[in-house]
Homo-oligomer: A and B are copies of this chain.
Amino acid sequence: MLFLNNYGIVISIVLGVIGLLYAVVLIKKIMASSPGNELMRKVAGAIQEGAKAYLSRQVRTVSVIAVIITILLYVWKQSLAVPVGFVIGAVCSMIAGYIGMRVAVVANVRTTQAATIGALPALRVAFNGGAVTGLLVVGLALVSVAVFYLVMSAGGHVGAAIDALVGLALGASLISVFARLGGGIYTKAADVGADLVGKNEIGLDEDDPRNPATIADNVGDNVGDCAGMAADVFETYAVTLIGALLIAHLSLPTFAGALVYPFLIGGISIVGAVLGILWVNLRNGGATALLMQGVGISAVVTAVLAWPVTQALFSNVEGLPFTPTALYGTAIIGLVLTWAVVLITNYYTATEYGPVRKIAKASETGHATNIIAGIAIGNYATALPVILICASIAGGYMLAGLYGIAIAVMSMLSMAGIIVSLDAFGPITDNAGGIAVMSELPKEVREVTDGLDAVGNTMKAVTKGYAIASAGVAALVLFGSYYLELDKHLHATGVLAATATVDFSLKDPYVIIGLFLGGLIPFLFAAMSMNAVGNTAGAVVQEVRRQISLKPGILKGTDTPEYATCVDIVTKAALREMILPALLPVAIVLIVGLIPFLGYKALGGVLMGTIVTGLFLGLSMTSAGGAWDNAKKYIEEGNHGGKGSEAHKAAVTGDTVGDPYKDTSGPAINPMIKVVNIVAILIIPLLF
């Protein structure tokens, strides 16, 4: 249909703006609710301040790097398109994380206050806080890519516009690696450090205000789980959309609808997300059920709206290599894959099922058996998602070729609005509990927030499975973009004869070398980021010990700890430690590309090797971490001896090992594997 072909992108911009406006409505609604008594506001204020201080410094640090890259891009390209794209991607990624986090740190104390009234009001405040981030992520990503594309392609230069979009993708990716790493190191160093010294050495409970690291711990929830996650999914969404456009442009150049379709999938799913969020706000019921209904509604609305859109765009189009119904099938594959990954991760990380209970049981025989069981569960948890991803690739490809795979991935990412809402809900409820304890509110309030926190933990685990699975398939789309772009470039420059095509054969030893070197990146990256957490946590432990030996009154409650120094230590350390691992993937891509006998074939191997081991490491680390966390919770519910038993001590060890697994290294692999691919796409004309 000509109308949709011409106005489809504008329509999706309008839908994206509606999503953003609804986020503003939600922010107003949250701000209108009560922030509680003075003590609560004071505690919340400290968290807000710490979070703001960290994120401002992170923005400054990253900005320096971003400015350097922008200049380099300009010097190299001698044109503004790519550097401007880079800046837009970087800035939007930062904004999504920044605003989302600012809302989270005002929603937390309001959730605590709402918990004095009841569970449902508290759920709504926390969920709406998360929904702001969810809507920001999809709204900003869709609108920024669409507007930038429209502006750049205004003169009809679709190819140049898409090149500039690769700059946008790089900006988004690089920022989100920093956000994930910096936030991940921050949150887990504070958490592990606070636990090691607070719980193990001094015997304080979680969130005890006498622990000098407790504010840093609560700040961490926001900068890691909220700002980091937002930047990460923003990036995956933007990059998937751009990858789909690249594939549409290069493999279906004569079909205008193919470029418009990914935007519309994004647009209609925002309608789905808004309706899902409304549902949670208007209906009554248990927390988990309500949230899952919200996700279900989003998915169903998207699936229903996609049918007329697909038919309208592609019916009666001559020469199309697939039918509209087949293409609709690929969109459904993405939605089904989302649901399946959510259910599978839930199975491996929720207390109700076998895996978590196996870890809990293994804790009875000690720390070591808890760890062995957890690592094994993490490995097992890779199987079903990977098999389903393979099935989705095969299905998408059979139905509509490489474009079909891209659409399946885009439709999976289109669910990000509602899924991120669930995820960002977690740190808010976590904080709400901390504020309740630190403000010495009655036990009943803490019980309400504890209940929501448990739900939040499962949601966080589940959405991490979604994040890494979607990152894996998004990277495949980028790999497809890499070789299409490379093929075009090598033909244009005459490196390849007209009849030849770019090939990366496993028969070629240099492709195999590439696979090995690429496979190495996630392993090294995970090691570096785990070490960063370990080092920083050690610094926190020493600071807490110093304060307590200096002012023994802290433990008696007669003296106030200096929360700010802990916040400061973690802030500085996180920013310092994130640099090296973030630059590793960029460095390896450049080195392999520059070694003459390796070249573009080995680089193809590097991209694929990173995707393969990255997907497995990401899935196993996030699942194992979630399972360890809930095994501890399951024991604390009174099983296997309950809190304080030997089994519980072993479970605490597992939970602590799981912390950097699930919140630092595992999730940071998501943007990392995409950085590798985007850098490769970008440097094609430079290197080959």
> CB within 8 Å of B: which residues of A?
192, 196, 200, 362, 365-369, 371-373, 375-380, 382-383, 386-387, 389-390, 393-394, 397-398, 402, 405, 476, 479, 483, 502-507, 509-513, 515-517, 519-520, 523-524, 526-528, 530-531, 533-534, 537-538, 541, 597, 604-605, 608-609, 612-613, 615-616, 620, 652-654, 656-657, 660
Q: Is the CB of A506 within 8 A of B511?
A: yes
* Extra 6 A-B pairs, beta carbons < 8 Å, given A375-B657, A394-B513, A394-B597: A369-B656, A371-B371, A375-B527, A394-B509, A479-B506, A519-B615
**A533 with B372, Cβ < 8 A, contacts A405-B509, A604-B506, A608-B512 known:** yes
- Distance in angstroms between the alpha carbons of A309 and B551 in the assembled complex: 77
Tell me if B379 and A527 are in contact (CB < 8 A).
Answer: yes
Query: Out of B200, B393, B503, which one reaches A507, CB within 8 Å?
Result: B503
Bound Cα distance A635, B515 (Å):
39
- Chain B residue with minimal CB distance to A538? B365
Does A398 lie within 8 Å of B597, measured CB to CB?
Answer: yes
Known: A372-B533, A479-B506, A520-B386. A512 touches B393 (CB 8 A): yes
Q: How far is the CB of A77 from chain B (nearest CB, A)?
A: 27
In the complex, A510→B396 CA distance in Å?
12
Task: Give the residues in chain B near A538, CB-CB below 8 Å.
Answer: 365, 369
Contact check, A483 vs B510: say whether CB atoms are below 8 A apart: no
Which B residues are in CB contact (< 8 Å) with A605? 506
Instruction: Tell whether, in the assembled complex, residue B660 and residue A372 are in contact, meaning their CB atoms are under 8 Å apart.
Output: yes
Given A613-B612, A613-B616, CB of A656 within 8 Å of CB of B519: no
Known: A523-B616, A530-B375, A604-B506. A369 touches B516 (CB 8 A): no
Is B517 touching A372 in the complex (CB atoms < 8 A)?
A: no
**Complexed CA–CA distance, A452 and B612 (Å):** 42
| Chain B residues closer than 8 Å to A528, beta-carbon distance | 376
Which chain B residues lie closer than 8 Å to A541 at the CB level?
A: 365
Main secondary structure of the interface of A (DSSP, over half): helix
Whole-angstrom distance between the Cβ of A656 and the nearest chain B Cβ: 3
Alpha-carbon distance A289/B605, docked complex (angstroms): 41
In the complex this chain forms, how many copies of it are found?
Answer: 2
* A533 nearest CB across to chain B (Å): 7
Q: Please determine whether B604 and A656 come into contact, CB atoms closer than 8 angstroms.
A: no
Query: Do A523 and B483 touch across chains, with their CB atoms under 8 A apart?
Result: no
B517-A380 in contact (CB<8A): no
| B residues less than 8 Å from A520 (CB atoms) | 382-383, 386-387, 616
Sample of 8 A–B contacts (CB below 8 Å) = A196-B366, A372-B533, A376-B528, A389-B516, A505-B505, A506-B605, A515-B612, A520-B616
Q: A196, A390, A394, A526: which has the most chain B beta carbons within 10 Å?
A: A390
* Cβ A620 vs Cβ B523 within 8 A: yes
A588 to chain B, nearest CB (A): 11
Please state if B372 and A530 are interface contacts (CB–CB under 8 Å): yes
Known contacts being A379-B523, A383-B524, A534-B376, is A657 close to B371, with CB within 8 Å? yes
Pair B380/A527 contact, Cβ less than 8 Å: yes
A-B pairs, 9 with minimum CB distance: A368-B656, A379-B527, A504-B506, A367-B653, A376-B527, A390-B513, A397-B509, A379-B523, A367-B367
Q: Shortest CB–CB separation between residue A519 and chain B, in angstroms?
A: 5
A688 to B553, CA, bound (A): 78
Q: Which residues of B contact A657 (CB under 8 A)?
A: 368, 371-372, 375
Q: Is the CB of A369 within 8 A of B196?
A: yes
Shortest C-beta distance, A309 to chain B (Å), equals: 25
A192 surroundings in chain B (CB, below 8 A):
368-369
| Closest-CB distance, A47 to chain B (whole angstroms) | 25
**A196–B365 CB distance below 8 A:** yes
What's the minimum C-beta distance from A144 to chain B, rounded to whole angstroms? 30
- With contact pairs A523-B616, A530-B375, A613-B612 given, residues A509 and B393 touching in the complex (Cβ less than 8 Å): yes
For A597, list chain B residues within 8 Å (CB).
394, 398
A541 to B369, alpha carbons, bound, how many Å?
12
Chain B residue contacts of A387, Cβ below 8 A: 517, 520
Give bound CA distance, A609 to B616, whole Å: 11
- Given A397-B509, A526-B379, A608-B506, do A519 and B613 touch, yes or no (CB 8 Å)? yes
